[in-house]
């Protein structure tokens, strides 16, 4: 039997190791972002690995022995088990339908399969809509706001840099993590790598961040140190016909484009971030069956460079440059706006 004092000592060591890992992220934030504290949900995404654990797993990767220690890696790094892409006890809400297969399609700003609008209609809720549809007192059906793997953490930058994160090396990546062909995780990996490898459309700046440091660097490069951070409060309202409450413009300067970052389904936390010109950001109170959700909505007022086959145009019957296109920010999605001085 473990002695109580020894057990307490182990708990203390575990706590301080987690604190050490979190502190590395907070220090990087303070050095690069002009805000005193990051949002709590973003802090929880920081890699929980301490420097000793990080060095150990890097060594295992370099010696091609990680596959023999995957269970320990998944648990200690708080990333997704490659053979079970969605852990029911952590991600599924039994009151909602299964997570929509098309949930990631709105991250793409190019061609989509012809059958996509029908699948969207069958799932309920519109991923794209007009600004005029969101005004106080109106009703709108909200789509699935969930992140398929909401609990996963970032890897540290030194560890993430060892991952073969590219479509050209996908077989190497799958072998490293023991991902089976045609599994759910195989689909998620292909989807995410496809988004990250695509060239930007005209007027867009884009990139994928595989670590918290990468995310901060992308934002600072595009907006500078002084930023606001905006995110939807919860997934409440998914699949519901909600009542719109207060609608407030929180970023209306079309000459200062915000940075939009979407959480991608992957083994660890990865963000796809992009910058579009002429985007307004709104804070919207959506009144659901249970509570009021404070949601963030982005509206693109220049769609002239988007593909005619973009899902938004298929759903609303207009073409590029003819209408503005709005969408909600999903769970773990984040918008960064520049603070004007």
pLDDT at 83: 57
| pLDDT tens-place values along the chain, 341 residues long | 444 434 334 333 344 444 555 688 899 999 999 888 888 888 999 999 999 999 999 999 999 999 899 999 999 999 987 654 444 434 445 466 666 554 555 555 555 555 555 555 456 688 999 999 999 999 999 999 999 888 899 999 999 999 999 999 999 999 999 899 988 899 999 999 999 999 999 889 999 999 999 999 999 999 999 999 999 999 999 999 999 999 999 999 999 999 999 999 999 999 999 999 999 999 999 999 888 999 999 999 999 999 999 999 988 889 999 999 999 999 999 999 999 76
Burial environment of residue 235 by CB neighbours within 10 A (0 to 12, 13 to 18, 19 or more): buried
The two tokens of residue 46 are 């920081």
E strands of the chain, at which residues?
A: 139-141, 204-209, 227-230, 241-251, 259-264, 270-276, 279-287, 292-300, 325-328, 334-338
pTM higher than 0.75, yes or no? yes
Residue 171, burial from CB neighbour count under 10 angstroms (0-12, 13-18, 19+): exposed
Residue (of 293, 273, 283) closest to 334 by Cα position: 273
Sheet with 325-328: list strands edge to edge.
139-141, 241-251, 279-287, 292-300, 325-328
Neighbours of 4 (CB within 10 A): 8
Non-local (6+) Cβ contacts of 331 within 8 A are: 145, 146, 147, 150, 232, 234, 235, 263
End-to-end Cα, the chain, rounded Å: 62
In what helix (H) or strand (E) does residue 224 lie, and over which residues does it extend? none
The answer to whether 155 and 211 are in contact (CB under 8 A) is: yes
């Amino acid at each position: 039997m473990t002695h109580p004092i020894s057990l307490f000592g182990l708990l203390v060591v575990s706590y301080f190791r987690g604190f050490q890992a979190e502190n590395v992220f907070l220090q990087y934030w303070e050095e690069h972002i002009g805000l005193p504290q990051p949002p709590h949900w973003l802090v929880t995404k920081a890699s929980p690995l301490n420097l000793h654990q990080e060095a150990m797993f890097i060594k295992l990767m370099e010696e091609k022995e990680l596959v023999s220690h995957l269970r320990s890696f998944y648990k200690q790094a708080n990333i997704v088990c490659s053979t079970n892409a969605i852990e029911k006890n952590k991600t599924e809400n039994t009151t909602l339908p299964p997570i929509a297969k098309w949930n990631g399609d709105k991250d793409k700003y190019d061609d989509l399969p012809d059958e996509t609008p029908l699948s969207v209609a069958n799932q309920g809720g519109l991923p794209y809509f007009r600004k005029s549809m969101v005004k106080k007192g109106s009703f709108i059906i909200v789509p699935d706001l969930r992140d398929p793997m909401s609990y996963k953490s970032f890897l540290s930058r030194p560890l993430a840099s060892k991952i073969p994160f590219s479509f050209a090396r996908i077989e190497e990546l799958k072998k490293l993590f023991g991902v089976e062909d045609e599994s759910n995780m195989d689909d998620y990996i292909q989807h995410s790598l496809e988004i990250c490898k695509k060239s930007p459309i005209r007027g867009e700046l884009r990139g994928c961040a595989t670590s918290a440091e990468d995310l901060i660097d992308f934002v600072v490069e595009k907006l500078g140190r002084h930023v606001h951070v905006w995110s939807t409060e919860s997934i409440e309202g998914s699949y519901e016909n909600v009542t719109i409450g207060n609608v407030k413009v929180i970023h209306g300067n079309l000459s200062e484009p915000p940075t939009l970052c979407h959480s991608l389904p992957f083994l660890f936390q990865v963000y796809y971030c992009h910058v579009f010109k002429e985007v307004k950001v709104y804070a919207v109170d959506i009144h659901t069956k249970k509570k009021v959700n404070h949601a963030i909505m982005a509206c693109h007022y220049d769609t002239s460079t988007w593909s005619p086959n973009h899902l938004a145009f298929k759903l609303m019957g207009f073409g590029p440059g003819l209408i503005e296109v709005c969408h909600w920010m999903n769970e773990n999605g984040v918008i960064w706006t520049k603070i004007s001085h």
